[in-house]
Amino acid sequence: MFFDATLWSWPWRRSAPARAAGCEKVPNQPCCVSCDQNVGAHLVLDLGARVFAARSAFQAIEVYATRAFGNVLLIDGDLQLTARDEAYYHEMMVHVPLARSPRPAGAPARVLVVGGGDGGCAREALRWPNVTVTLVDIDAAVLDAARRFFPRTAAGLDDPRTTVVVGDGAAFAAAAAARGERYDLVVCDSTDCSSRERASGTLYTDAFLRNVKALVGETGSFVRNYTSLLWNLDEAAATLPRYAAAFGAVAPYAWQQPTYSSGSYSALLCGAGAAAPLADADAVAAELGDLALGDLSYWTPAVHAAAFALPAHVGRALFPRPRCPRATT
């Protein structure tokens, strides 16, 4: 897939995955639902019946039923979430930046979710007390599919503390920045895309980053879905400096995501949350105090702390140390 060259350039283009003949009709017929990540590999799930298919003005949306993973959402043939492990992704996208926020745990906070039409990030943000959410997604068809086929994920969409806006997230951010609005956290939960291929191409531009920086100021944070650091490390290393230039501090973190192509995924935390000192599990738990987030599936203080511990070769690639000049005689 080719991302906007002003921010993110990938050396390949994805195409919709090939499906085994008849797999839309035959239960448990293997189907490829995650495309080649330029490493010669595909993720294959046993999909049952295709229970929903629609093409909006922006993208193709499909939902398949599976025995092992519950309903599975595909956009333009690319797996977005499964009912079984979507909580891993949404919890890590939201609880990590909120737990690393310089604001005291439980203090009032405004959260802006750009994309995230399935509602999972909104749901997780609303676990925190005194949080209000504005969610902006360009495609009403995704919102409708989430409410119908992923009701637990979409629960935050219809919560009275959530304001849902159907529109271009980049345009919303630009207008909000021009009005001088401020958010404690901006979450970008978008499809992997480019302006050539998908509607979220504007979320990968320098202009969007400048506007988000204006929205979070010096005390807020920005987090975006990133990539597999194990498979797409070169691309992550090439784009990280742009985020650092926009926000100052950046901190990638990773977790296990079994139904994503490489089995792992990452997010990039930028701004005040990234600048906060790394804390061990006890320190994270102490910061939360008596704050209860309910029954989570993945995030814990220990997982939080471990997520920032990157493999040695990943750390070297993302944060190369300047080489000292050799002494001459």
Question: Residue 81 domain-assigned?
Answer: no
DSSP bridge pairs for 163: 134
pLDDT of residue 32: 56
Question: Residue 238 domain-assigned?
Answer: yes
- What is the domain extent for residue 302? 86-318
CA 106/CA 238 separation, integer angstroms: 36
Question: Residue 53 domain-assigned?
Answer: no
Question: Residue 105 domain-assigned?
Answer: yes
Tell me the average pLDDT across 8-23.
38
Q: Quick one: what percent of the chain has pLDDT higher than 90?
A: 67
pLDDT of residue 173: 98
Q: Report the 3 state secondary structure along the chain.
A: CCCCCCCCCCCCCCCCCCECCCCCCCCCEEEEEECCCCCCCCEEEEECCEEEEEECCCCEEEEEEECCCEEEEEECCEEEEECCCHHHHHHHHHHHHHHCCCCCCCCCEEEEEEECCCCHHHHHHCCCCCEEEEEEECCHHHHHHHHHHCCCHHHHHHCCCEEEEECCHHHHHHHHHHCCCCCCEEEEECCCCCCCCCHHHHHHCHHHHHHHHHHHCCCCEEEEECCCCCCCHHHHHHHHHHHHHHHCCEEEEEEECCCCCCCEEEEEEEEHHHHCCCCCHHHHHHHHCCCCCCCCCCCCHHHHHHHCCCCHHHHHHHCCCCCCCCCCC
Mean pLDDT, rounded, of the chain: 86
Catalytic-labelled residue, pool 78, 118, 139, 189: 189
The answer to whether residue 4 is catalytic is: no
- Amino acid letter at 58? F
Stretch among 42-56, 214-228, 237-251, 292-306 having the lowest mean pLDDT: 42-56
CA 297/CA 33 separation, integer angstroms: 24
Threshold 0.75, pTM exceeds: yes
Question: Residue 279 domain-assigned?
Answer: yes
Question: Residue 163 domain-assigned?
Answer: yes
For 300-322, the pLDDT digits (tens) are: 999 999 999 999 999 999 999 86
Q: What is the CATH number of the domain that holds 289?
A: 3.40.50.150
CA 291/CA 284 separation, integer angstroms: 11
Question: Residue 329 domain-assigned?
Answer: no
Number of domains present in the structure of the chain? 1
User: Is the pLDDT reported for residue 76 higher than 60?
Assistant: yes
pLDDT interval class at 102 (50, 70, 90): confident
- Which class for 40: exposed (0-12), middle (13-18), buried (19 or more C-beta within 10 A)? exposed
pLDDT interval class at 15 (50, 70, 90): very low
pLDDT interval class at 101 (50, 70, 90): confident
The number of CA neighbours under 13 Å toward the Cβ of 210 is 9
Tell me the average pLDDT across 185-209.
80
pLDDT of residue 323: 61
Question: Residue 36 domain-assigned?
Answer: no
